[in-house]
Amino acid sequence: MITGAIAVMTSGGDSPGMNAAARAVVRTALYEGVKVFGIYNGYKGMLEDDIHELTSRSVSDLIQRGGTFLGTARCMEFKTVEGRRKGLDNLEKHGIEGLVIIGGDGSLTGGSMLSKEGGIPIVGLPGTIDNDVWGTDYTIGCDTAANTAVDAINKLRDTASAHRRIMIVEVMGHTSGWLAMTSGIASGAEYIIVPEVKYNIDEICEDIVESYAHGRRYTIIVVAEGACSGVGLKNVVQEKTKIDTRVSILGHIQRGGSPTLEDRIKASMLGERAALALISGVNDVVFGFDEGKVVSINLFDSVNNKKPLDPELVRLASVLV
């Protein structure tokens, strides 16, 4: 049971909805009569003592904003035992008794080490547009990012159709094809290429040439950056099909923007649960969603397992795409 103070931080890649989650953590803790500190700029800020007490006003006018007001960073020093010791000392200095970490796999792994080495209670929230945290079928920001990708693909389809082009759309996802798969299915892409599923570029190109011979006006290929570079794929497809091929790399616009309703609501629910759990003495858990309900996942299980791409999405794509 925590009666003094907790802290909240965001870490790793930012994702829309992190603000909503942090806001919920802050307001819930204050409602419960517990002080809240914000750790700015992820583990870097923890090591540099960039730690400040937050009020309810600190999180006003935030729920609709993308990014993270706490800032985020990547920190190599935190990967060392000495670095983490420095971070733990800073937490202790402020009387922080527990920590909510909002971030992806790497950030949650860092949190599991703080817990193991320092004994500080940790509650994690999955914040990443990749939707690749084990144990949860939702991560904060994935819905906004997928909607951004769908919106872009809709626009690219218009121009591809006007010129009878092949349009290759590279979306984020180094090891996870979730964003490519969902945005590809939802935008009616002709081909979706993800790291988890083998593909044959010769077959794809032959198929495209045949469809153009039968009057097709455009082809959309959605590719996850980890499966193949969009530019590399463009060169191969153009060469093999002899059809005008263009590439659009969506890049960082996928991380930004005002979070969708789903991201705001789910992030708020997760933030509230995280603060309540931490205050009541729960530790080493990640809160996520399973079939629409908030669930708790063991932190160590979550970081030690790799989430596979939902086979139902792969099956659906094989039928519809």
Active-site residues, by number, are 130
In terms of CB distance, is 111 or 160 closer to ligand ADP?
Answer: 111
Report the first-to-last Cα separation within the chain, whole angstroms. Answer: 51
Residues near 250 by beta carbon (within 8 Å), at least 6 away in sequence: 148, 149, 152, 169, 170, 171, 172
Position 74 contacts ligand ADP (CB under 6 A): yes
In terms of CB distance, is 103 or 226 closer to ligand ADP?
Answer: 103
Residue from 50, 97, 105, 170 in contact with ligand ADP (CB under 6 A): 105
| Distance of closest approach, residue 145 Cβ to ligand ADP, in angstroms | 13
In terms of CB distance, is 38 or 110 closer to ligand ADP?
Answer: 110
Q: Report CA torsion sign: 34, 38, 44, 50.
A: negative
Only one of the segments 109-117, 134-142, 208-216, 247-255 lies at the binding site for ligand ADP (rule: CB under 6 A); that segment is 109-117
β-strands 5-11, 35-39 pairing = parallel
In terms of CB distance, is 159 or 304 closer to ligand ADP?
Answer: 304
Only one of the segments 72-80, 134-142, 225-233, 260-268 lies at the binding site for ligand ADP (rule: CB under 6 A); that segment is 72-80
Name which of 282, 299, 313 is nearest 103 in CA terms. 299
Longest dimension (CA), the chain: 71
β-strands 35-39, 51-54 pairing = antiparallel
Question: What separation in angstroms does the CA of 208 have from each of 118, 211, 219, 307?
Answer: 57, 5, 7, 32
Position 75 contacts ligand ADP (CB under 6 A): yes
Name which of 196, 178, 140 is nearest 13 in CA terms. 140
Give exposure, 71-80, as e/b (b: 16+ Cβ within 10 Å).
bbbebeebee
| Distance of closest approach, residue 224 Cβ to ligand ADP, in angstroms | 16
- Rounded Cα gap, residues 195 and 308, in angstroms: 11
| Distance of closest approach, residue 13 Cβ to ligand ADP, in angstroms | 4
| Distance of closest approach, residue 107 Cβ to ligand ADP, in angstroms | 3
Binding characters for ligand ADP, 126-165, by CB under 6 A (x = yes): --x-------------------------------------
- Rounded Cα gap, residues 158 and 161, in angstroms: 5
Residues near 242 by beta carbon (within 8 Å), at least 6 away in sequence: 209
| Distance of closest approach, residue 130 Cβ to ligand ADP, in angstroms | 8
Chain-centroid distance of CA 88 in Å reads: 26
Position 79 contacts ligand ADP (CB under 6 A): yes
Chain position whose Cβ is nearest to ligand ADP = 106
In terms of CB distance, is 36 or 140 closer to ligand ADP?
Answer: 140
**Rule CB under 6 A: which of 173-192 touch ligand ADP?**
none
Phi-psi region of 220 (alpha: psi -120 to 50; beta: other; left: phi over 0): beta
| Distance of closest approach, residue 21 Cβ to ligand ADP, in angstroms | 14
In terms of CB distance, is 242 or 306 closer to ligand ADP?
Answer: 306
Only one of the segments 10-18, 193-201, 273-281, 286-294 lies at the binding site for ligand ADP (rule: CB under 6 A); that segment is 10-18
| Distance of closest approach, residue 142 Cβ to ligand ADP, in angstroms | 13
Name the site residues for ligand ADP (rule: CB under 6 A).
11-13, 43, 74-75, 78-79, 103-107, 109-110, 113, 128
